[in-house]
Structures are given as C-alpha cells and as structure tokens.
Amino acid sequence: MRSFFTLVALFCALDASIAFTLTKPVPFNRAMSIRAAAADCPLPGTAKLDVDWQDLGFEFRPTKSHLKVEYKNGAWGSPELVSEPYIKLHIGATALHYGQACFEGLKAYAHEDNSVHMFRPDENAKRLRSSCERTMMPVIPEELFKECAREVVKDNMAYVPPYGSNGAMYLRPLLFGSGARVGLQPADEYTFLIMVMPVGDYYKDGLAPIPALVIEDYDRAAPRGVGNVKVAGNYVADLLPNMEGKKKGFPIGLYLDSSTQTTIEEFSTSNFIGINKRQNKYVTPKSSSVLPSITNKSLMALAADSGWKVEQREIPVEELKEFEEVIACGTAVVVTPIGKVVRGDDVYNFGDGKTVGGTTMELYKRMRAIQNGEEEDKFGWNVQVC
C-alpha cells in the first residue's frame, strides 16, 4: 500500500512541477494550473448533495464510505472501506459500558488547483496516542493513521467541498473498546474508524462575537483526570452545563480550574486565548486538565511569527479585564470571537462586543489562507491527499 501512496504523491508532485515550469514566477496561489481528474485521484466537489456546498452546516451527512480497522489478537488488521454507516457491536463492548473510547477531529481542504490537503494529521495521530495510553487502548501507529486518513478522503473525494465554497471535509477518527469485558479491565478487541463528512463554514455570515458564561456549578475535568485527552466522557460531562448556559442566553461556557475556581481553563470544546494589545501578548492557559488544541498550537505559531509575545501560563480570572480580545479556538470553527464573559455579577467586556477584534480577524484570515492554499505553507502543515 505504501508504494501505491508514494506513486500517487509522485504523480501529484510531478503534476505541480510541470505547472510551475510552464508559468512565470507569479504569486503563490496563481502558479498552479487546474489539475484534471486522474484515475486514482478524483476531483473534489463533484457529489450531488441535498444542499448547496455553500449552505453546509456542521452535522452528519452520508458519504460514500467510512474506514475501519480492527484490533484482534494483539495486532491491527488491514484497513477496509465500508459503505454502510453502521457497525455491529458486541453488547459487552467496554466502550458502551465504561466509556473506553477516544476520538479526533481534523479537516481536509481543496485548493484552487483541486488538490486536497489535510491540516496537520500528524498532530492528531500524536494526540490520539496520548488518549489511547491514558485509557489503556492499543495505539494506532502514526503512519497507519495518516494512511487511513488519506485513503478515506480519497475514496470520498467527491464529497470534499470545492475550493471557494469555504467548506471542508471533516474527518472524525474514533477508537474504542469493542471486545466484551464486564469486570473492569481493558478490552482485548478494539475498533478504529474514520467517519468523514462535508462541513460548511461555521460563519457563513461572517465572524461575530458571542457571550460566554463562566460555569460554576459543574466541572468539566479534574486536575489529574482525563481532561487533557480527547475521550468521549469529557463531552458528556459538558452536555448539561452547556444546555443550562444556552437557556440563559450563552452559546458557550467557560470552565475554571476545578480545585480552586480561580484560574481559566478552557471553553467547553475549545481552547481559551486572551489578547493583550497594549503589551503585545497572546496568552493561553497552562493546565494539566486542558485539552491541547491543535488550532491553539497553530495560532500560537502564527502569533509568534507576527511578532506577538506568546505566553502559556496560569491565567487568573481577574486578568480577563486586561484583554481587548478573547478567542475560543478549535478545528470546527478555527476561531470564535468572545464579546464578553459573565461570572455571576461580574461582566468582562472585550471591545464593543459587536465587532470582531483586529487580531482575531488577522489570525483567522492567515490560518484560513494557509488551509486554502492561498498563503505559503511555511510551517509545512498541509499534507497532500492527492
């Protein structure tokens, strides 16, 4: 299989280099010709959906296939593409009873030349490894993870939103205990799968700041618990607090450290970033119970590259008043500007609460331009599918 992928990569590289020699040096994104569909590398955006590409939201949509690999007798089997969106599962599976399950989230984007690229899949593979280790599940080797991701995107290429639609192919890798075990022990059989679906731009009508509520009656994660790994249970713990916050008019909740409730941790499903313009600082919390976000890591690199001082440290709640901009970040949205944070009677405002801060906008645009292949990928984040 490896040689096959090398061949495809070679083909794509060849294709690009031909285009480059035919054109005079022009701006980066103009230098490529439109690639024609190759037999083993179909064109993105050719599927017929129930909505226009521009109107996609963030919900499940059927595609051609998902990918599945099973772990049995101490080894991973070979990946298969499955067209039915169902699995047959033992009623004693540890994932169902004890939550032995973890997941990932990443996107693939079509560029103007119709090539398709995943954003930092190596980082997802590494994070999945740490989730597996913490929950006693067998690790999926990084190379196998990347090959599986590439293969399932390629098989579903028609469903990758075309360049210009602002959408992306969302990949949801999932690894769980599928073997039966009733006494508390790790399973001896596991299933790894990757579900894919086309998703739209979260902000079709442009970015707009939203209010956040500090969650005080519940904790998302314990200091030495599983908050720093991407396990299924972390999300169910947040369902009720999330729903209660929404009823009060807050689309997003902010968690503090659970032992003292004095420092900032993260939003329910995204990391916290504070921008202190007067001191030219990008600040993000350091904590043992925060999930290390790949978006946050990427934005930190972009901020540092633009000359911002990047600090990763404890952030006391009162420091909120020092920030002119606050951002919630994650793969699904990239950035969500936060207009204000409310904690009981305390209200912290960022900017006028209506317009998106300049730094937030700049970071967002730069990140999206790299993902769309419109800005040089100087950090080497994009991994070409074909």
Ligand X SMILES: *Cc1c(COP(=O)(O)O)cnc(C)c1O
Ligand Y SMILES: *[C@@H]1O[C@H](CO)[C@@H](O)[C@H](O)[C@H]1NC(C)=O
Footprint of ligand Y on 282-311 (CB under 6 A): 284-286, 290, 292-293, 296-297
Rounded CA separation 108/170 (Å): 7
Of the candidates 178, 180, 200, 201, the residue with the CA atom closest to the CA atom of residue 191:
178
**Residue 374: partners with Cβ closer than 8 Å, 6 or more residues away:** 28, 29, 112
Footprint of ligand X on 186-245 (CB under 6 A): 230, 234
Footprint of ligand Y on 303-362 (CB under 6 A): 312
Nearer to ligand X by C-beta: 42 or 99? 99
Choose among ligand X, ligand Y, none what residue 284 binds, the Cβ cut-off being 5 to 8 Å by kind: ligand Y
Residue 245 CB, shortest distance to ligand X, in Å, is 15
Q: Lay out the site mask for ligand X across 55-94 (x = CB under 6 A, - = otherwise).
A: ----------------------------------------
User: DSSP characters for 79-133?
Assistant: -EEE-SS-----TTBHHHHH--EEE--EEEEE-TTS-EEEE-HHHHHHHHHHHHH
Nearer to ligand Y by C-beta: 120 or 181? 120
Q: Is residue 364 within 8 Å of residue 334, measured between CB atoms?
A: yes
If 0-12 CB within 10 Å is exposed, 13-18 middle and 19+ buried, where does residue 105 land? middle
Choose among ligand Y, ligand X, none what residue 285 binds, the Cβ cut-off being 5 to 8 Å by kind: ligand Y
Q: Lay out the site mask for ligand X across 16-55 (x = CB under 6 A, - = otherwise).
A: ----------------------------------------
**Does residue 295 belong to the site contacting ligand X (CB under 6 A)?**
yes
Residue with tokens 């916050």: 245
Strands 190-199 and 210-215: unpaired
Distances (CA, A) of 53 to 100, 180, 345: 35, 41, 43
- Which range in 34-42, 158-166, 294-302, 375-383 contacts ligand X by CB under 6 A? 294-302
Nearer to ligand X by C-beta: 70 or 377? 377
Neighbour-count burial for 268-307, b at 16+ CB within 10 Å, e otherwise: bbbbbbbbbeeeebbbbbebebbbebbbbebbbebbeeee
Please give the helix or strand (H or E) that residue 237 lies within, else none: helix 232-247
**Does residue 330 belong to the site contacting ligand X (CB under 6 A)?**
yes
Residue with tokens 């999930």: 291
Residue 134 CB, shortest distance to ligand Y, in Å, is 16
- Which range in 150-158, 240-248, 264-272, 335-343 contacts ligand X by CB under 6 A? 264-272
**Does residue 294 belong to the site contacting ligand X (CB under 6 A)?**
yes
Angle at which helices 2-22 and 142-155 cross, to 10°: 60
Nearer to ligand Y by C-beta: 60 or 379? 379
Q: Lay out the site mask for ligand Y across 258-287 (x = CB under 6 A, - = otherwise).
A: --------x----xx-----------xxx-
Q: Is residue 214 within 8 Å of residue 343, measured between CB atoms?
A: yes
Nearer to ligand Y by C-beta: 95 or 299? 299
Choose among ligand Y, ligand X, none what residue 330 binds, the Cβ cut-off being 5 to 8 Å by kind: ligand X
Choose among ligand X, ligand Y, none what residue 312 binds, the Cβ cut-off being 5 to 8 Å by kind: ligand Y
User: Where does this chain bind ligand X (CB under 6 A)?
Assistant: 105, 230, 234, 266, 269-271, 291, 293-296, 330-331
User: Where does this chain bind ligand Y (CB under 6 A)?
Assistant: 266, 271-272, 284-286, 290, 292-293, 296-297, 312
